[in-house]
Amino acid sequence: MTAEAVVARIKAQLASQGVAWREGGRDTFKAGTPETEVRGIATSGMSTFDVLRRAAKAGQNLVVTHEPTFYNDRDVTTGLETDPVYRAKQQFIAEHHLVVWRFHDHAHAMRPDPLIAGSARALGWTSYASPDDPRVYLLPPTTLGELASAIARRLGDRGIRVVGDPNAKVSRVAIGAGMATPAVNAHDIDVVIGGEQREIEGTFDSPEYVMDAATLGVPKGWIILGHNMSEESGMQEMADWLRPIVPEVKVLHIRAGNVYWVPK
């Protein structure tokens, strides 16, 4: 089975789930040859050089990545032709007969959004899902500090950032993926979790609102995981989704993992 045949099956499965394919978006082949025979598939939040190396070692030559491969939103490589990092990455892909395909726009179009559902599953929150909003989880009462610590432990996130009073009592949490951090001013939401966001000039997705709420004793919290960490578990979800679609080949999830580290 070729890489383009795998993508054809993905498109057909999406259509059966009511997700129409839209040309001209981010979901295209980024590197390698679509006619390449697929020995195995690896999903990942980002197709970093390390992920590609681990995929090749595991015999997974089709890498399905959620985020770009070549350092910008649309993987435009103009101007990178002489860059040593770009050249080394392309050379490695060619030498190991890898193919990289991005699965972003249509993954987010699925319902429920697997990038959010995957995070909830990794956190052990599936049974707490709100019946009214697929992004909201109704947790047993805890404090913002305890919640943030539990999230960091479950996800192994070394770069987590938190805004708000750590002693604030919270229970209603809204999850966002990537840059889609929910608005924190919703009256029925105590904490929002996202991947990244502007720290100023936002509306109600900035930490200033949470800081003012903390000063006034209003229980609000803002937890930022980092873009990749907020979606990595979702690509594990995508690996599980892909297996019955392409039973002929092995499907693995290879974590790109933490982008950030904190100095001691």
163: helix, strand or coil? strand
One domain for residues 48 and 149: no
User: How much is the pLDDT for 206?
Assistant: 72
User: How much is the pLDDT for 202?
Assistant: 60
Q: Residue 131: is its pLDDT beyond 90?
A: yes
One domain for residues 10 and 105: yes
pLDDT band at 201 (very low <50, low <70, confident <90, very high): low
Q: Let me know if residue 253 belongs to a domain.
A: no
Domain end residue (candidates: 85, 110, 135) = 110
User: How much is the pLDDT for 187?
Assistant: 84
- Indicate which CATH number applies to the domain containing 77: 3.40.1390.30
Q: Residue 6: is its pLDDT beyond 80?
A: yes
Q: Let me know if residue 188 belongs to a domain.
A: yes
The stretches of the chain forming alpha helices (DSSP H) are: 3-16, 49-58, 84-95, 105-109, 114-123, 144-155, 207-215, 227-242
One domain for residues 49 and 100: yes
Which pTM value belongs to this model?
A: 0.94
Q: Return the structure tokens found at 3.
A: 């890489």
The edge-to-edge listing of strands for the beta sheet with 62-65 is 29-31, 99-102, 62-65, 40-44, 250-253
56: helix, strand or coil? helix
The count of domains in the chain is 2
- CA 117 to CA 155: how far, in whole Å? 14
* pLDDT tens digit sequence for 154-199: 999 888 999 999 999 999 999 999 988 888 888 899 999 999 877 7
Q: Let me know if residue 35 belongs to a domain.
A: yes
One domain for residues 151 and 96: no
Q: Let me know if residue 60 belongs to a domain.
A: yes
One domain for residues 93 and 9: yes
User: How much is the pLDDT for 165?
Assistant: 97
- CA 176 to CA 224: how far, in whole Å? 10
Burial class (CB within 10 angstroms; exposed 0-12, middle 13-18, buried 19+) of 183: middle
* pLDDT tens digit sequence for 50-94: 999 999 999 999 999 999 999 999 999 999 999 999 999 999 999
Q: Let me know if residue 210 belongs to a domain.
A: yes
Instruction: Give 220-248 as a DSSP string.
Output: -EEEE--HHHHHHHHHHHHHHHHTTTSTT
One domain for residues 35 and 75: yes
Q: Residue 214: is its pLDDT beyond 70?
A: yes
One domain for residues 119 and 223: yes
Residue 93 structural domain: 3-110
Domain end residue (candidates: 80, 110, 140) = 110
One domain for residues 28 and 99: yes
Q: Residue 200: is its pLDDT beyond 80?
A: no
Instruction: Say if CB 227 and CB 73 are below 8 A apart.
Output: no
Q: Let me know if residue 187 belongs to a domain.
A: yes
* pLDDT tens digit sequence for 222-253: 999 999 999 999 999 999 999 999 999 999 99
User: How much is the pLDDT for 186?
Assistant: 85
Q: Let me know if residue 237 belongs to a domain.
A: no
Mean pLDDT of the 90-119 span: 97
pLDDT band at 38 (very low <50, low <70, confident <90, very high): very high
One domain for residues 91 and 24: yes
